[in-house]
Amino acid sequence: MVLVAFLMPFAAQAQEKNKEALALLDAVSSKYQQLSGFKANFEFSYKHPADQAASKQQGEIAVKGSKYRLKLPGQEIFNDGTTSWTYIEDGNYKEVTINDAAAAEDELTPSSIYTLYKKGYFYTLKGEEKVGDKLAQVVELTAEKRSASFRSVTLYIDKASKALLAWDIQDDQGGVFSYRFKQVESPKQFEDSYFVFDASAKGKVEIIDLR
C-alpha cells in the first residue's frame, strides 16, 4: 500500500521491546497467517501539519499471503509475490510499470504490515482508544535505526478479535498517512491469477518493464 517514514527523536521510553506489546503483535500476526485471504474497503488520508484538514480517499485491498491487489484512485497495484505491476489509466492512456516484487522489500505492503515488528523495531503498548465502534489496543513501532524506511508506525488492534483495524505512518515532513479498514470480508478465497496483471484484458497498454 503506499507508505513512508518520519524523522523524530526517539523517546527513551519508546526504545523497548515490551513483552505485552509483543504478545499482542504475535496474536495479530498469527491470526493473519491463518487466513486463506481477505478483502476490504478502506479509507486513507494524509494530513500535513501545515494543512487545515486531511485529504481523504477510498481504496480496496485483496490479500492472500504475500500476494495482494490494491485499488487506489487512478491506479491499481498487482503483486503475486514475485512480480509487481502498477497500472495507471487516465482517459484513453493506459500504462503499466513492472518490477520484481523483491525490489519493494523495504516498502510497507498490505502483507508486511502484519510482520513489520519482527525485525528492526522497538514496540510498546500505548493504551486503548476507540476506532469506530470498536475498542482498540494501540501499539507504537519505532525503528531501531535512524536509517530505517519507516521511523514510526502506530497499529490499532481490535481488543476482542485481535484483528488489525487501522494504522498510521508518519513521514519525514511531519505528515501522517492514516489507513482505516471499513468493510472486511474474511476469510476469502482467491485464485492466484487474481493477483497477476493481464494486459490483454485492458486493450492498448504502454508497458514499462523495469525488471
pLDDT means over runs of 10, the chain (211 residues): 35 66 96 92 88 84 94 94 95 94 75 88 95 95 79 93 92 82 91 95 94 91
> Rounded CA gap, 170 and 6, in Å?
5
Q: Tell me the domain boundaries of the chain.
A: 12-209
Looking at residue 126, its pLDDT comes to 95
Looking at residue 7, its pLDDT comes to 27
> Rounded CA gap, 150 and 89, in Å?
29
- Specify the residue for cell string 507508505: 3
Looking at residue 106, its pLDDT comes to 62
Q: What pTM was estimated for this model as a whole? A: 0.82
Q: For 12-209, which CATH class?
A: mainly beta
Per residue in 156-197, pLDDT tens? 999 999 999 999 988 767 778 899 999 899 889 999 999 999
Looking at residue 52, its pLDDT comes to 75
Looking at residue 149, its pLDDT comes to 66
CB 43 within 8 Å of CB 56: yes
Looking at residue 143, its pLDDT comes to 84
Which of 165, 164, 176, 170 shows the shortest CA–CA distance to 132? 165
